[in-house]
């Protein structure tokens, strides 16, 4: 939880902070259902994985035990590993964007904050996990609507 004091009197900053806090730890990786590109099944991943090699070896063994031949099991596990790694990377990027959005809002730079929150939504949207970030985006957008002259950062 952030303990940083606001540096600017941003309207509705408490709501923005509350929306940001709802993003913390909600999506850490391959935890949401996602439809693989070109695939016909829905999969739910195992979450943030620390040891992808061990996960892939266990997955291959499970697929072989379920009746897949070794080549198909290895190919499937490899594809799932790549998908999972992309998802974890997107989760980290979304979290960084959300944090940067809050920092911009604290400075009163609501337009920048809105753009950053939108980037977080975009990263999560690709993997079916945009809701916490949409709430943050909405809170910032609402604050922007009631702010007569939001600060624009210097280039």
Residue 140 C-beta-side C-alpha neighbours within 13 Å? 32
Instruction: Give which of 152, 44, 114 is closest to 122, Cα–Cα.
Output: 114
3-class state of residue 101 by DSSP: helix
Q: Which residue has the higher pLDDT, 35 or 53?
A: 53
In a domain, 6, yes or no: no
In a domain, 152, yes or no: no
* Structural domain boundaries, residue 132: 13-145
In a domain, 154, yes or no: no
| pLDDT over threshold 90, residue 101 | yes
Lowest mean pLDDT: which of 47-51, 88-92, 104-108, 124-128?
47-51
In a domain, 3, yes or no: no
Give this prediction's pTM: 0.76
Distance (Å, whole) CA 136 – CA 124 = 13
In a domain, 7, yes or no: no
Domain count, the chain: 1
In a domain, 150, yes or no: no
């Amino acid at each position: 939880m952030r303990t940083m004091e606001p540096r600017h009197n941003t309207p509705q900053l408490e709501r923005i902070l509350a929306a940001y806090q709802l993003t913390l730890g909600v999506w850490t990786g391959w935890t949401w259902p996602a439809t693989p590109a070109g695939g016909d099944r829905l999969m739910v991943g195992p979450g943030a994985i620390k040891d992808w090699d061990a996960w892939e070896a266990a997955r291959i063994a499970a697929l072989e035990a379920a009746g897949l031949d070794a080549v198909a099991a290895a190919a499937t596990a490899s594809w799932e590993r790549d998908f999972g790694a992309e998802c974890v990377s997107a989760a980290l990027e979304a979290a960084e964007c959300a944090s940067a959005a809050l920092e911009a809002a604290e400075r009163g730079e609501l337009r920048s904050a809105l753009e950053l929150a939108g980037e977080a939504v975009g990263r999560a949207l690709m993997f079916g996990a945009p809701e916490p970030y949409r709430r943050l985006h909405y809170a910032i957008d609402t604050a922007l609507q009631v702010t007569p002259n939001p600060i624009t950062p210097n280039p």
